[in-house]
A and B are shown apart, each in its own frame.
Chain A
């Protein structure tokens, strides 16, 4: 017992604590030692709450295990978990991540009554006719005319945007925002993009110049790396 290697190493940093869990230890042993250590270093009632970064190394936690870890660490609410980092990712998650960050090129006319739905960014080479609809979880790039409906960031990404060679859409949708064409007859615009303007809290259409200022990480991959 006494010469057993430490499973849990705690380091103090300026932001709080870093908590390393030795990756060769069993999960049960790790939890047991973690519980003891946390109890021992628990701040007193009058001290501020300490934030903790958990580093798992090459260990993967299931959702249940992660919940337990959170419970054990935040004893009596004296600790707050900042992040849990693992070097590992499940194949399933990796594939989804990859899928969500790919650009998918599709060459077709999306005609009235048709819906084209994809994961990730959509590069459509062709028109979206009135009554047609394109949906993606990321950005939408249309090399053609957008007359129908385009819905970017379908799963909630507010940073996604819609670009088209020519836009005269019936509706633009980004995440949970919707904007529609005016009721009067109007001309479309060439080479512009639609995105959510944070200040106005609505979708606006502006030149591509503006887009490059507002959305620096145009590549879906980088964007999602940063957003986690």
Chain B
């Protein structure tokens, strides 16, 4: 029986899709069977970041409305045998997806895959409710900006009302070291303290991430970039490994105080 993890944030553009693609890819690199679901109806992205756009025939709305079987809509990744994507619909009306429909799809996928990674749309409306409805766990993504942290806090509040296996975990994305040192960005430490949920990883702001997304080759596939290592470490922490924050994930100064937040749980 697999496990479903929703990647959410409240605010748009903070890196949900990038995080979903890279965590999915990193888990596949570790020989896990992974299925990605894009629930951002009307603003489909995950297929582009994964470089699979040209293979889409059916989408999630086709599955829910019975126009095809779930298996028919799944797109097999070009690099891994056991990495699949269920794409969002690009044109259909948003109300086509329901929480029940989502739950059914996720339950079926859990029979075959180890991890179902659900990419959530921005906002707290129906699309968000759908995305979280089938999930066992949640990862909240934020950037070190006030408005993004505020939205993440709102999302954590909503997630805490759901019956999930554990409280959500946090990814802080797009950290810029020089800005943090100058105090122009909120400190990682302060973000973790405010949200008071476990940190599962921090990812630097890296042009390579954007380049990789444009090529449809998630950064997690490149061996040595900082962002790539950060995503692969997040995947290892999802698998339950205790991985200390690498200095490669960021430069040392910011991290010293952070150690205590990482890898504290079994």
Contacts and interface: CB of A to CB of B under 8 A. Distances in A.
A130 B196 contact: no
B150 A131 contact: yes
Contacts of B150: 112, 130-131
Interface stretch (B87-95, B102-110, B152-160, B253-261): B152-160
B151 interface: yes
The size bracket of the interface on B is 10 to 19
B154 A109 contact: no
B96 interface: no
A112 B157 contact: yes
Contact of A114 (B146, B151, B157, B194): B157
The size bracket of the interface on A is 10 to 19
Contacts of A111: 153-154, 156-157, 160
A206 B171 CA distance: 38
Contacts of A129: 153, 194
A109 B196 contact: yes
Contacts of A109: 157, 196
Contacts of A112: 150-151, 153-154, 157
Interface string B140-153: 00000010001101
A192 B146 CA distance: 25
A109 B151 CA distance: 15
B196 A113 contact: no
Main secondary structure of the interface of B (DSSP, over half): helix
Contacts of A127: 194, 196
A131 B157 CA distance: 11
A35 B209 CA distance: 91
Contacts, number: 29
Contacts of A131: 150, 153-154
Interface in A114-148: 114, 127, 129-132, 147
A147 B150 CA distance: 12
A22 B90 CA distance: 83
A185 to B, nearest CB: 10
Q: Find the residue from A111, A113, A132 having the highest chain B CB count within 10 A.
A: A111
Q: Find the residue from B146, B151, B196 having the highest chain A CB count within 10 A.
A: B196
A130 B193 CA distance: 13
B133 to A, nearest CB: 20
A190 to B, nearest CB: 15
Contacts of B196: 109, 127
Nearest to A126: B196
A94 B97 CA distance: 51
B131 to A, nearest CB: 18
Interface in B164-207: 194, 196
Contacts of A130: 146, 150, 153, 194
A113 B153 CA distance: 9
Contacts of B156: 111
Nearest to A109: B196
B192 to A, nearest CB: 13
A127 B196 CA distance: 10
A131 B11 CA distance: 15
Interface in A30-89: none
Contacts of B151: 112
A114 B146 CA distance: 17
A132 B160 CA distance: 15
A184 to B, nearest CB: 15
A122 B151 CA distance: 26
B42 to A, nearest CB: 25
Q: Find the residue from B153, B160, B196 having the highest chain A CB count within 10 A.
A: B153
Nearest to B194: A129
Contacts of A132: 153
Q: Which 9 A-B pairs have the closest CB atoms?
A: A111-B157, A112-B153, A112-B154, A113-B154, A111-B153, A114-B157, A112-B150, A129-B153, A131-B150
Given A113-B153, A114-B157, A129-B153, 14 more contacts: A109-B157, A109-B196, A111-B153, A111-B157, A112-B150, A112-B151, A113-B154, A127-B194, A127-B196, A130-B150, A131-B150, A131-B153, A132-B153, A147-B194
19 contacts: A109-B157, A109-B196, A111-B156, A111-B157, A112-B150, A112-B151, A112-B153, A112-B154, A112-B157, A113-B153, A113-B154, A113-B157, A114-B157, A129-B194, A130-B146, A130-B150, A131-B150, A131-B154, A147-B194
